Amino acid sequence: MPQRHDDEVLVRRSRLAAPQFSDRLGVFAARRFAKGEMVLRWKLKAITQEEYERLPSDERSQFTHKRGGTIYLYPDPERHVNMSDDPNVSPDFEAGGDVALRDIEPGDELTIPAAAAEEGGPAD
């Protein structure tokens, strides 16, 4: 069953042939977004090294990133934005969210550039 977030996006089974996450979920637009609009504001949680080590291994490898020396855990829905060679959103680290690269229609799956890796990638 899809999970709606802030009436802006919802999480459900990805339509991509090879979603990057083991749970095969993706994030979909629940409304229209214009090019340049903030689509998904991140609500990242800074965690300690000890909290990180207590996470299941798949959560550590898929849903954490290290940036500026801080480990962040990605919650729903931002943890389920898959990568694509034809992305429709791009991470804006200064603004703290994903911004539309072009107009996005309701039902479109949100994807970021495959080369959008953060500093250090997964916190491992």
CB 26, CB 5: distance < 8 Å: no
pTM of the model: 0.82
Domain-located, residue 67: no
Domain-located, residue 17: yes
Domain-located, residue 47: no
Domain holding 91, by residue range, is 3-42+77-113
Closest CA to 63 of 51, 32, 14: 51
Output the CA angle 71-73-74, nearest 5 degrees. 135
Cross-strand pairs, 27: 11
Query: The domain that contains 83 carries what CATH number?
Result: 2.170.270.10
What distance in Å separates the CA atoms of residue 23 and residue 82, rounded to the nearest whole number? 11
Residue 121 has pLDDT above 50, yes or no: no
Give pLDDT tens digits for 27-82: 999 999 999 999 999 999 999 999 999 999 988 988 898 988 999 999 989 989 99
Neighbours of 7 (CB within 10 A): 8
What distance in Å separates the CA atoms of residue 22 and residue 62, rounded to the nearest whole number? 8
Domain count across the chain: 1
Domain-located, residue 72: no
